[in-house]
Amino acid sequence: MVNSFALFGTSADPPTIGHKKILEELSKIYSFTISYVSNNPNKTHIEDISIRSHLLKTLIGDLDNPKILFNQSISSPWSVESIKKCKEIYEFKNLDFVIGSDLIKDIFHWKNFDKITEEVSFFIILREGYPVESNTLKMLETYKVRFKISTIKIPNISSSKFRLNFNYSNLPKSLIDYVKENNLYESTKLVE
């Protein structure tokens, strides 16, 4: 089997059971998955990147899977920079960049989009309510973007939904105490 590698950057504000499921499923597909937390220039983040990266690192540590690596040193608000750092550190030739279907339309406006498409293939994870529409598929083909659409099934939860409903069952168990103890995400409003 040829070695295959995935790069999964996320805002993780906070990491949810959806992030956990994605990481678990990626480890079944790829030789290695490298994950990190970034500041998305198009989002306002609730918690500081240091807290979010601690949460994701804790989640990955608890998964205890040697095929899932956490490396915050490759984090950048710009995907092109994270991809470059990842390739320098790990010397990967073939790298799939994991992205949710909710963000796929945005890639055409990313900084150095043309360089990104030269360096990686996209591995698109379908999110409920965000189908990859035919006009987006046409644009991907027009720009000769290499991509695969995943069959991974993930829970219909996101960090933003968690922040709206404050339901602990949407967090991985390993993160609940830390979120409570540090009163993150206005945890006084959370429900058990």
**80-135 tens-digit pLDDT:** 999 999 999 999 889 999 999 999 999 999 999 999 999 999 999 999 999 999 99
Place of tokens 């830390």: 178
The tokens for 76 are 């950048």
Residue pLDDT, tens place only, 51-85: 999 999 999 999 999 999 999 999 999 999 999 99
65: in domain: yes
Q: Domain tally for the chain?
A: 1
CA angle 35, 39, 45 (to 5 degrees): 115
Supply the CATH number for residue 87's domain.
3.40.50.620
DSSP state of 127: B
107: in domain: yes
Can you tell me the mean pLDDT for 180-191? 72
Q: Is 192 helix (H, G, I), strand (E, B) or coil?
A: coil
Q: End-to-end distance of the chain based on CA atoms, in angstroms?
A: 44
13: in domain: yes
Strand partners, 37: 10
182: in domain: no
25: in domain: yes
The answer to whether 94 and 123 are in contact (CB under 8 A) is no
Domain with 29 in it = 5-155
